[in-house]
Structure 1
Amino acid sequence: MFTPGARSLHGAGREFMQRTELGAQPPSDQMLGRPPPPLEVPYTRAKTVVPLPAPGDIAIPAVDLRDAIEQRESVRNYAPEPLTLEEVAFLLWCTQGVRRVVDGVFTLRTVPSAGARHAFETYLLVNRVEGVPPGLYRYLALEHRLAEESRDPEIKRRVAAGCLDQPHVLESAVTFLWTAVPDRMTWRYGERGYRYLHLDAGHACQNLYLAASGVRCGVCAIAAFDDAAMNLLLGIDGERQFLIYVATVGKKP
């Protein structure tokens, strides 16, 4: 209920909530019998691809779940020590790993997603990873591999600038950049699916925080970024695919 003197509730946020209420949208594409969108954005097979260790072959020290939750905090200062490829593979698997593809229509992964729609792509800014040249990569979750996107020596500074010059982007060993492909979610849920994209981003990043504790890493989630600049940097249009969340990772000092 509106209270006199309170801030107006008629801004874009309130309009978004009203227009995505249940029952406020037309039937979704799934209801209309239209085929689902692809499970993953295609990649150019001519690009360099980095194989990742299989999840079952990665040995990670056991961490007590209660300790991981109680000690969780954002860490912005990192040691100069690089991550191993095994550690990177583990973090990628814990945040978007595909456990099973079902009928070519949906995937079961290591994180929750509304209706198992899993509408994210994971880009990885690599600054210090053993055996992987610095640059921008994309995680091919269906294949559990990394595809090179850019080896521009200025890429980390461009990412940092797009994140409003937050210094821990430059200091991180890797930075996760999650993009959303809304068609995957709206196919089932219509415009209400945009709400679920943001909920799913929280699921993925929380898994990153918890998984990082097992490899002696700290994480800092970032929501403050220049949307247009970052979408341009990633080569996406900002509508059919857009950046939704960022997180830096590095060894704790």
Structure 2
Amino acid sequence: MSAPLEQTLYRRRTHRSFSAQPVSLHDLAVLLGTVFGPAEFIDGFEYGALIRRTSPSGGARQELDAYLATPNVTGVPAGLFHYNAREHSMELLGEGFTHTEAGALCAHQEGTEQAAFIVFVVAAWERMRVKYRHPRAYRVSHLNAGHLGQTFALAATALGLGPFQTAAFDDTAVEARLQLDSTTHNTLYALAAGHPTPGTPADTADLNAFRQTTLRHGQPGRRDD
């Protein structure tokens, strides 16, 4: 993963069409370690040693965990896993997982039934409540999920993969499938990737097309910018 940052930033795209080529275990491991693994351990004083990741996290609580569905990863059986960030390992939760099930869990969105793997970002609320006992901490967790999503998209792009992210999924069904207690753990985000389908046309437009775009129904040419 040595692509220059500027190239990676401008190459990043949301992909929804993937080939049948599996993602290698090596690339998955690099991606998980880069996004969800510890960059270093820091002294949290009264809270003990804390993990710092490559993305910001309010109070370094790292309340967000990665749970994986792996329908098409080389060397990894199709199934559901928890990523153990401290050990950089995948803990098997259950065998068997298909693209059809991925589509059912994620509202049959385009791409979910083709992606090589899906990462469900899950909040373990107790880690946040230990330090922050006010309701705004809930908002911070959603912001933290967004930080991880952007790092995921950039890291996947640098590895030559096509990423996408979504908040459209069946919370109850996902958490049941991951064997989670929905009162203590909630799924906030779904991140996925695979090898983009070769020859997919770029969805580009010019400035003139942007100027003529209608953002308000029934009012052509009206824009908010």
Q: Structure 1 CA distance, aligned partners of 2:126 and 2:163? A: 29
TM-score by length of 2: 0.80
Query: Structure 2 matches for 1:162-241, cutoff 5 A?
Result: 162-190=105-133, 191-241=135-185
> Corresponding residue for 1:44?
none
Is residue 180–residue 243 contact of structure 1 (8 Å, CA) maintained in 2? yes
Is residue 17–residue 110 contact of structure 2 (8 Å, CA) maintained in 1? no
Q: Decide which of 96, 112, 117 is 2:56's aligned counterpart.
A: 112
Q: Structure 2 CA distance, aligned partners of 1:225 and 1:152? A: 19
Query: Structure 2 matches for 1:64-83, cutoff 5 A?
Result: 64-83=4-23
Deviation at 1:205, TM superposition (A): 0.8
Q: Report SS of the residue matched to 2:113.
A: helix
Q: Structure 2 CA distance, aligned partners of 1:233 and 1:157? A: 14
> Corresponding residue for 1:93?
33
Opposite residue 100 of structure 1, the aligned amino acid is: E
Aligned-residue Cα RMSD (Å) equals: 1.6
Opposite residue 178 of structure 2, the aligned amino acid is: L
Q: Report SS of the residue matched to 1:136.
A: strand
Task: Report % sequence identity.
Answer: 32
Q: Structure 2 CA distance, aligned partners of 1:123 and 1:184? A: 17
Is residue 93–residue 110 contact of structure 1 (8 Å, CA) maintained in 2? no
Is residue 70–residue 97 contact of structure 2 (8 Å, CA) maintained in 1? no
Opposite residue 91 of structure 1, the aligned amino acid is: L
- Give the number of aligned pairs: 192
Cα offsets for 1:71-97 (capped at 9, x unmatched):
222101112111111100111012111
Q: Structure 1 pair 167/151, CA: closer, same or farther in 2 (3 Å)?
A: farther
Cα offsets for 1:18-56 (capped at 9, x unmatched):
xxxxxxxxxxxxxxxxxxxxxxxxxxxxxxxxxxxxxxx
Deviation at 1:178, TM superposition (A): 0.8
Q: Structure 2 CA distance, aligned partners of 1:77 and 1:114? A: 34
Opposite residue 175 of structure 1, the aligned amino acid is: I
Is residue 186–residue 192 contact of structure 1 (8 Å, CA) maintained in 2? no
Deviation at 1:250, TM superposition (A): 0.3
Opposite residue 72 of structure 1, the aligned amino acid is: R
Is residue 63–residue 214 contact of structure 1 (8 Å, CA) maintained in 2? yes
> Tell me, which stretches of 5 or more residues in structure 2 are unaligned?
198-225
